[in-house]
Amino acid sequence: MAKRIIMVHGRGFKPDQEVFEQSWVEAIGHGLERDRGADVRAEFESCARAFAYFGDASNEYLRDRRGPYDREADIADRRRCLDTLRQFEARDFLGERGLDHYENTPGSEQSHGGARRSRRGPPGMDRSGRARDRVQGPRSARILESRQRLREPRCVGDSPRSSHPRSLRVTTSCSSPTASGTLIAYDNLWKLSHYVEHRDVFETGHKLTRWITLGCPLGNPTVRKNLKGHRASGVRQYPANIREWVNVAAVGDYISHDRTVRDDYRAMLEHGLIESIEDRRIYNLAVRYGKSNPHHGVGYLIHPTVIALIGDWLS
């Protein structure tokens, strides 16, 4: 059966779809060639893809609240960021070496007086990058800012959150949403599981084989209260069409300041709705406009942890 990867972006000002999608494809393609070889990159590039784009709606909403959007400056800075990330070897993102690079990114959480972490890995993370325990979140001011930013996509959300179930009506697929894209993906996966008009899809038994969430706010209690199904009970509270869920959160990414989801969605495992839920921690080395941006999508996508998840799924 043919494989298909679905990419869902998050909130914020975005360039046009062609430019934006290509930056994601280039980040994943580069990472696959770096870590798995040119053949795996070619396999990815020939794989069926869908890019759920709602940047036009997001831009229109944000323009009235944040001022004008400089498209050319944004595109140029995104290219600089990706070019810099492509200069790193896989080992530069990992362990002590990854911590060194993260601490040296301008404006990173660590470079602002954060204590030097032990060699066991990022806070709450073992040597393999798997989350161990819940850890203390970022500074309260940044958490307050994240709450404000998380509210914004809801104002443009009626359109994107209701317009992409068709993109998700697929089999043998991998989905990689970021930030508010995870809300869109989650809500549509729930609708495909429980809405009468999508019963034909659910009754096929097909599931999303691997759902990779990046910089995900779904562990936030306020976000959970606004998801589809939050007032339901039992199996109707959750999507029933995901086989594996891997959540990746970067150190210093305040959108995903609640860095684990397995504890919040354990009931999906208990009800037998999903086979596994796993949390991973990474260092995101992206720099945007001269400052560390551990929430940047390309910084997630090019990271060896995410590349391994995609590469394993392709194989």
- pLDDT, average across residues 192-220: 90
Task: Say which amino acid occupies 156.
Answer: V
87-91, 169-173, 196-200: which is most confident: 87-91
Domain boundaries, the chain: 4-314
pTM: 0.83
- The pLDDT value recorded for residue 198 is 86
- pLDDT, average across residues 56-78: 93
Instruction: Indicate the range of 102-116, 174-188, 240-254, 268-282 predicted with least confidence.
Output: 102-116
Confidence of residue 180 (pLDDT cuts 50, 70, 90): confident
Dihedral (Cα; 9, 23, 89, 280), 10-degree rounding: 10
Establish how many alpha carbons lie within 13 A of residue 248's alpha carbon, considering only the half-sphere containing its beta carbon: 30
Using alpha carbons, select from 214, 216, 215, 249 the residue that is nearest to residue 122. 249
Could you tell me the two tokens for 73? 């400056």
Task: Please give the share of the chain, as a percent, with pLDDT higher than 90.
Answer: 66
129: left (phi over 0), alpha (psi -120 to 50) or beta: left
- The pLDDT value recorded for residue 155 is 36
Higher pLDDT, 306 or 162: 306
pLDDT tens-digit readout, 90-147: 999 999 999 999 999 987 665 544 434 434 455 445 545 555 443 333 444 444 444 4
